Chain A
Amino acid sequence: DVKVTQSSRYLVKRTGEKVFLECVQDMDHENMFWYRQDPGLGLRLIYFSYDVKMKEKGDIPEGYSVSREKKERFSLILESASTNQTSMYLCASSLQGGGNTEAFFGQGTRLTVV
């Protein structure tokens, strides 16, 4: 069974803390993505990576950074957490190439910043 696994389902952090969200996939996918999901806004892309050590900004990268040291692992870092980063964070992976390269999602991390 293919899997994308996020390290935590629920996290509560304080304002100003540095927060690490971890994601691991076992499908040998080249592409990995971090989205945040907020009511009424849908999924918005924060960052993505198409290869080890490669990263590209998505639509809302401010306040975030990422790390991809190994193909299977993609980390999202909140440098200094703020209350407006309270959200559901979803990691996804997919193969490269065109066509029906469906994205597989992790179960999500619900982050609350207090």
Chain B
Amino acid sequence: GQNIDQPTEMTATEGAIVQINCTYQTSGFNGLFWYQQHAGEAPTFLSYNVLDGLEEKGRFSSFLSRSKGYSYLLLKELQMKDSASYLCAVPSSGGYNKLIFGAGTRLAVHP
């Protein structure tokens, strides 16, 4: 089967760095997605990793280790607007790009 685990909640201070972890178990691997979801809004795409290593995109970076079934999202220079839920997702082994989501990590950024 497939399973994704991520922490339920995290808090951080404006201007700081925060790392949101995600561990996954999947029978076949076709990449890992991170989405951001502000309260009451649709999830929006942040990143996609299919190879091991760190991918940087502005203040946000995403890391993948396929051998460990592990990924993290790194947010630098935190801003109040980064307060949101962060969803880790992997494509289902059944194909058709069905995404299996973790429960999400709610991040609260404080002044």
Given contacts A31-B97, A33-B98, A99-B31, contact A42 B104 (CB under 8 A): yes
Q: Is the CB of A56 within 8 A of B96?
A: yes
Given contacts A31-B96, A56-B96, A105-B44, contact A99 B50 (CB under 8 A): yes
Q: Is the CB of A50 within 8 A of B96?
A: yes
Kindly count the residue-residue contacts between A and B in the assembled complex, taking CB atoms under 8 Å apart: 63
Residues of B within 8 A of A107 (CB): 41-42
Residues of A within 8 A of B72 (CB): none
- Shortest CB–CB separation between residue A19 and chain B, in angstroms? 20
Residues of A within 8 A of B40 (CB): 108
B residues 57-111 touching A (CB-CB < 8 Å): 87, 89, 92, 96-104
Given contacts A31-B97, A90-B42, A107-B42, contact A100 B104 (CB under 8 A): no
Q: Is the CB of B98 within 8 A of A40?
A: no
A58 adjacent to chain B (CB < 8 Å): yes
Pairs of residues from A and B, 5 with the lowest C-beta to C-beta distance, nearest first: A42-B103, A105-B42, A43-B101, A100-B48, A102-B45
28 example contacts (A-B, Cβ-Cβ < 8 A) are as follows A31-B96, A31-B97, A33-B98, A40-B8, A41-B103, A42-B87, A42-B102, A42-B103, A42-B104, A43-B43, A43-B87, A43-B89, A43-B101, A44-B101, A45-B98, A45-B100, A48-B98, A90-B42, A92-B99, A96-B97, A97-B97, A98-B97, A102-B33, A102-B45, A102-B48, A105-B43, A107-B41, A107-B42
